[in-house]
Chains A and B, each alone.
Chain A
């Protein structure tokens, strides 16, 4: 079941903040966030593994609300380098112990000067 991301696209001026949401209709075990720049491979940002967990990475942080089956990515004081498409990937338990990530359709973020 593909997670739903919102918004689909957002344009920011340098220094502005943004929130990207990721929600699932299925119970989640983990949420992964990746950023992909045009023509490049997706690059890992962070993993959230349990409900209520928050993580930070420079000025990019995320939260995971297991009960609501959703995660949010927070970008503060955005920089030009933050431009790209952000994907959330969700994982669920399987008998084999791990699950392949199912990715959302992505949120295209453009930061302008």
Chain B
């Protein structure tokens, strides 16, 4: 099973600042089959990024994904008030699919 470790656990930032979230895999998996999801309290997760770097439909271009192999990054270029949430990475290249434990981005 591929273990995904996200860091930091919590990121305290102000609106307008840049957020950089990390996701590290315990081993490489197929073709960067990595997704990022955003989850707000009481809501279902929302797909942001797939294939490590492709934005999902309707996702603003301030969200970007990068990385390959075992190291992946989600960047939010300028935080908007609605961006504060918990973010999860997930790999779908190897069964069982696994999620990281999440990074909470909170208002400083």
Interaction A to B: no
Which residues does A use to contact B, with CB under 8 Å?
none
